[in-house]
Amino acid sequence: MITKYKIRIALCLILTGGLILSAFIAESQNARIKIDIDRKIGDVDKNLFGNFVEHLGRCVYGGIYEEGSTLSDENGVRLDVLDAVKDLNVSITRYPGGNFVSNYHWKDGIGPKDQRPPRMELAWERLETNRFGTDEFVNYARRMNTEPYFSVNMGTGSIEEAQQWVEYCNVKGGPYYAELRKKNGFSEPYNIKYWSLGNEMDGFWQMGHLNAEDYSKKALEAAKLMRLTSPDIKLIAAGSSNYRPEADPNEWNAKILHELRDVIDYLALHMYVGNPDDNYYNFVSTPRVLEERTRVVKGMIDREMQNAKRGNRPPIYIAWDEYNIWYRARAEKSMAGTRALEEHYNLEDALVISGFLNAFIRNADIVKMANMAQLVNVIAPIFTNDKGMFKQTIYYPMQLFAKNMHGTALNLQVDCETYNTEKFFIGLGESTTQQKNVPFLDVSATCNNNELTLCVVNRNKEKAIPTDLISQEGLFNGDFEVYEVNGPDIKAGNDFGKTVVETIKKPSIKVKKTNKISYSFAPHSITMIKGSIEKL
Ligand code: AHR
């Protein structure tokens, strides 16, 4: 017999069951990021947060260096720019090119400034005054607290000229070029550790372009002379530049790796992406293509390492020593002269840059160097005029990563909704791709002693994504700092006197020994969360 009492119990059970079920549904609707601090990918190299200074447009002249400006010191260094550069924490800076270096003769840029020869600059069509050269760059690098990384001329330059540059920079005294440095006022050697053997030598646009066989031969001999001069230097070979449909980039990479596997320390790869069709979801998935290329080249390196004779030197790593967004300033008139390659960035560009940085962290076992191209004015995070400067949107994620992502990269498990892209061009005139199952949340994490740092990009343009961060080894404990880069909409950008997109410090998340933190990531945002994990 069904009594009133039994009905009440049944209703109670249904209600409780319903509550449990709805709690379960609510929980399972959240995205999940599972963090296990014991699942390590590799050490994050500090050189992942590098940049690049090329004699191009207003990167050097009118950018970091402007003689006669009231904003500059007595050496011509723009102090407002230097402050912004310092605050970016650039770990390593490549110099002096780029395409420029393939017809650059370093001896033009040393000695008394008024006696240096002005030259026609053929890569980007300017007059190169040579008033800024090796000594000025090394000095600048010290002031910005970065490791200088030089690129030698493998186009119109000779292997002897490369050797002499190493001698000028790294030999204490005795031979002619070491003594010349001393005579120029620099008694101590610069000890430049990183040297690249040319730039984009696979490209038909490169002055002195070579085929893979000729480049390998020249690079091998240059490497020999350079190492005989300074045995501890690290050498970076010019791998394939942006993948182009007419070229077979992997054939170039395979040949170079095979021929140079005993002598090089890194293979350089370059990548520029764009959004020419104005398709947000295609665009924000482009860092996945960089990750695919990384995996392909890693396999090629692994194959060559099986038979390489490297003594006790580590294996070859990948240096993404040029990457960025570059598609607006590609028209003929913006490709040359003193205003070349001036891109004005917006929030969606900042999301893409964070995607690149996440990809570098997730591949920290093989990617040991990355250089955003470039530092000031030329496809750059800092933009100047003769009265001041402003920080572009892409400055902020770069700064967050450089300041916070250190230690060991973690292998995360991310469960969230995904989307498929259309077939699209990656940049202008380049290969096409279609990306399937792109997660709306793009995530990377590092652990430094007990400190966990997580970077989460929410690619969803409209929706916030409520997410559970779940620690599988150890407990979250204490205050977790939260930083967000966002803006009113994906096209929002900064300008002189106007900062719309920047890093905002949000209220901290306070937890006490728990294995779960719930957080809702705002639409089109970059969020960095930082705090400690206590091991059980
Ligand atoms: O960064 C701009 C240019 O892009 C570099 O000079 C060249 O290496 C690449 O093609």
Catalytic site residue from 322, 343, 348, 484: 322
Q: Which residue has the tokens 């066989």?
A: 213
Contact 72, 32 (CB under 8 A): no
Distance, in Å, from the CA atom of 190 to the CA atom of 230, rounded to the nearest integer, reads 12
Average pLDDT, stretch 218-231? 98
CA of 213 to the centre of ligand 1 (A): 22
Would residue 332 count as lying in a domain? yes
- Asked if residue 227 belongs to a domain, the reply is yes
CA of 124 to the centre of ligand 1 (A): 10
Q: Where are the alpha helices (DSSP H) in 115-236?
A: 134-144, 159-170, 176-183, 212-229
Domain that residue 185 falls in = 41-409
Mean pLDDT throughout 447-472? 97
Atom 6 in ligand 1: residue holding the nearest Cα: 98
Q: Cα separation of 510 and 221, whole Å?
A: 58
Measured in Å, residue 461 CA sits from the centre of ligand 1 at 31
Which pLDDT score is estimated for 15? Answer: 45
**Residue 223 covered by a domain:** yes
Residue of 122, 128, 272, 428 to mutate, ligand 1, most atoms within 8 A of C-beta: 272
What is the C-alpha to C-alpha distance for residues 533 and 536, in angstroms, rounded to an integer? 9
At residue 288, φ and ψ (nearest 5 deg) are: -65, -30
Burial of 1 (0-12, 13-18, 19+ CB in 10 A): exposed
> Please, what is the average pLDDT of the chain?
94
Rounded Cα distance, 472 and 191, in Å: 44
Task: Annotate 340-384 with three-state secondary structure.
Answer: CCCCCCEHHHHHHHHHHHHHHHHCCCCEEEEEECCCECCCCCEEE
pLDDT of residue 244: 67
Atom 8, ligand 1: which residue's CA is nearest?
98
In a domain, 83, yes or no: yes
72, amino acid identity? S
The reply to whether 200 belongs to the active site is yes
H or E element, residue 293: helix 286-305
428 pLDDT band, cuts 50/70/90, is: low
Residue 242 CA, closest ligand 1 atom number: 10
Q: Average the pLDDT over 226-246 and give the result.
A: 90
For position 331, what pLDDT does the model report?
A: 82
Is residue 105 scored above 90 in pLDDT? yes
H or E segment and range at residue 64: none
Q: How many residues does the chain have?
A: 536
- 230 C-alpha to ligand 1 centroid (Å): 28
Q: Which atom of ligand 1 has the smallest separation from the CA of 374?
A: 1
Task: For Cα atoms 459, 320, 193, give the angle at the middle one, nearest 5 degrees.
Answer: 140
For residue 98, which atom of ligand 1 is closest to its CA? 6
What distance in angstroms lies between residue 527's CA and the mean position of ligand 1's atoms? 30
* Least trusted range by pLDDT, from 91-100, 163-172, 325-334, 522-531: 325-334
d(CA 65, CA 184): 20
What pLDDT shows up at residue 341? 93
pLDDT reading at 14 higher than 80:
no
Q: Which residue's alpha carbon is at the smallest distance from atom 1 of ligand 1?
A: 373
CA of 98 to the centre of ligand 1 (A): 5
Host H or E run for residue 14 = helix 4-29
pLDDT band, residue 22 (cuts 50/70/90): very low
Which pLDDT band holds residue 246 (cuts at 50, 70, 90)? low
Residue 113, H or E segment: none
Regarding beta strands 465-471 and 432-433, do their DSSP bridges make them parallel or antiparallel, or are they unpaired? unpaired
pLDDT given at position 333: 82
Ligand 1 atom closest to residue 322's alpha carbon, by position in its atom list:
1
Residues paired with residue 184 on neighbouring β-strands, in sequence order:
none
Q: Which of 167, 200, 304, 484 is catalytic?
A: 200
Instruction: Identify whether 284 is part of a domain.
Output: yes
Residue 480 belongs to a domain: no
> How do residues 36-78 score in pLDDT, each as one tens digit?
999 999 999 999 999 999 999 999 999 999 999 999 999 999 9
The answer to whether 147 is a known catalytic residue is no
Domains of the chain: total = 1
Pairing label, strands 147-151, 194-197: parallel
* pLDDT > 70? residue 245: no
Is 458 within a domain? no
Nearest to 149 by CA among 75, 71, 13, 53: 53
pLDDT at 28: 57
323 C-alpha to ligand 1 centroid (Å): 9
pLDDT cut 70: percent of the chain above it: 93
d(CA 241, CA 326): 14
Among 413, 390, 523, 516, which residue's Cα sits nearest to residue 465?
523
Q: What is the pLDDT of residue 11?
A: 44
What count of Cα atoms within 13 Å lies in the side-chain half-sphere of residue 500? 15
The SS3 call for residue 72 is: strand
Q: What is the structure's pLDDT at 9?
A: 47
pLDDT digits (tens, 9 = 90+) for 55-65: 999 999 999 99
- Which atom in ligand 1 lies closest to the alpha carbon of residue 52? 1
d(CA 68, CA 75): 9
Closest ligand 1 atom number to CA of residue 272: 4
Residues lining ligand 1, Cβ inside 6 A: 54, 97-99, 199-200, 241, 322, 373-374
Q: Which two tokens stand for residue 18?
A: 């319903």
| Ligand 1 centroid – CA 100 distance (Å) | 8
SS (H, E, C) 151-162: ECCCCCCCHHHH
Task: Supply the CATH number for residue 236's domain.
Answer: 3.20.20.80
Q: Which atom of ligand 1 is nearest to the CA of 203?
A: 10
Q: How confident is the model at residue 431 (pLDDT cuts 50, 70, 90)?
A: confident
pLDDT of residue 1: 40
In a domain, residue 49? The reply is yes
Task: Report the percentage of the chain scoring pLDDT > 90.
Answer: 89
| HEC readout, 324-341 | EECCHHHCHHHHCCCCCC
Nearest CA to ligand 1 atom 7: 98
C-alpha of 102 from chain center: 23
Q: Which residue lies with its CA nearest to atom 5 of ligand 1?
A: 98
Pocket test for ligand 1, best of 270, 324, 327 (most atoms within 8 A of CB): 270
Check if the beta carbon of residue 467 is closer than 8 Å to that of residue 456: yes
**Residue that the structure tokens 């994504």 belong to:** 465
Residues whose CB is less than 8 angstroms from the CB of residue 318 and which lie 6 or more positions away in sequence, other chains included? 266, 267, 269, 294, 297, 298, 301, 363, 366, 367, 368, 369
Q: How far is the CA of 241 from the centre of ligand 1 (A)?
A: 9
Instruction: Specify the residue for token string 């989460």.
Output: 456
CB under 8 Å to 19, separation ≥6 — which residues?
none
**Which of 60, 124, 199, 269 is the pocket-test mutation for ligand 1 (most atoms within 8 Å of CB)?**
199
Whose CA is closest to atom 2 on ligand 1?
Answer: 98
Helix pair angle (134-144, 159-170), 10° resolution: 50
